[in-house]
Amino acid sequence: MSERVIPLIDERQRKIGSHVPVIPAQLLNPDGLLADQRGRSLHDLRISVTDRCNFRCTYCMPKEVFDKDYPYLAHSDLLNFEEITRLAKIYIEHGVEKIRLTGGEPLLRKHVEKLIEMLAVLKTRSGKPLDLTLTTNGSLLRKKAQSLKDAGLSRLTVSLDGIDDHIFRQMNDVDFPVADVLDGIEAAREAGFENIKVNMVVKKNCNDQEIIPMASYFRNTGVTLRFIEFMDVGASNGWNMSEVVPSAEVIKKIHEVFPLTNIDPNYPGEVAERWRYVDGSGEVGVISSVTQAFCKDCSRARLSTEGKMYLCLFATEGHDLKALLREGRTDLEISNAIAQVWSHRVDRYSELRGSPELANKAKVEMSYIGG
């Protein structure tokens, strides 16, 4: 494992900008055609349901920052399930068709199955079922998989940064065994989940030796494995460009052992570049937000645990929707506030990474708004 140098900085102490969105004087009914300054539609919504996690992954919530004294949000500060569902309905009217529940670790949120039940009955503007998915570290999947499926969850993504038990325990930094996560994935399959994805964050000289073993393990399982470049999210993970393993290198390594062929994305703006094993044994993907920016097609908004809307994973400010909810604003007023925020959106951090205009700007933590 490489030496870590991690600044002891709490995202909230860095005073990430946040303000209550302005409600326009003229209120318009949503038409599902909302676009930002670059013509990007609003298609995906990622909702963080908790800022807590039972892992201390070094690239996300390192122990040096997220210790026993870390000031987690009070329960009263969190959006309740009714507020989350209300906002989801408003976002859907603007064109959202996919909602992903994240954290922290979303399965730590008490009775999260109830929230899933509430969201699962929602329909898109065209009347289709909502694509409702959840990202988890898998630690509670054996216990929760069947109830998640019964509640109406469409799909699951499991974060898993290595198949070797020693390396995985080092990565999660709480000595959690890889066998329990693999058992959780099996529990999800037993519960009836068919479209399961596994995400591996690749960090040079840390877990990059796990690329081939992970590919080998998940071939012929029906599980889609995706490799994510180590990203400069927030200020807590001690990010350094020298620790990034480019996706092109990942694909090259796999191709040398298990030949691959490139395939088309599932939909415009999909973040993962897709590859299929030539022998038909499955599919892998790579997410290249460092070496190959995909800002031009980004259609994702993010909603934090306490109801702040963020326009980018690397955002430097949030827009406080909870304040509008709790001061009694109508759905139409909140809808227009969201529309005004999105229509002014110009975010393209990955295209500008390293530029002077971004220098010294504090970014929101990934653990706060989800990956």
Residue at 18 is within a domain: no
Residue at 189 is within a domain: yes
Per-residue pLDDT of the chain (371 residues; tens, 9 = 90+): 444 433 333 444 334 678 999 999 999 999 999 999 999 999 999 999 999 999 998 878 888 888 989 999 999 999 999 999 999 999 999 999 999 999 999 999 999 999 999 999 999 999 999 999 999 999 999 999 999 999 999 999 999 999 999 999 999 999 999 999 999 999 999 999 998 999 999 999 889 999 999 999 999 999 999 999 987 665 555 557 778 999 999 999 999 999 999 998 877 667 789 999 999 999 999 998 777 777 888 899 999 999 999 998 878 789 999 999 999 999 999 999 999 999 999 987 665 665 565 555 655 665 666 65
Pairing outcome for strands 300-303 and 308-310: antiparallel
Q: What is the CATH number of the domain that holds 311?
A: 3.20.20.70
Owning domain of residue 72: 29-369
Residue at 326 is within a domain: yes
Please tell me the total count of domains within the chain: 1
What residues contact residue 106 under an 8 Å CB cut-off, 6+ apart? 48, 49, 50, 112, 134, 135, 136
Collapsed DSSP state (helix, strand, coil) of residue 361: coil
Task: Note the pTM of the prediction, 2 decimals.
Answer: 0.89
Residue at 9 is within a domain: no
Residue at 148 is within a domain: yes
Residue at 336 is within a domain: yes
- Sign, CA torsion 345/45/136/199: negative
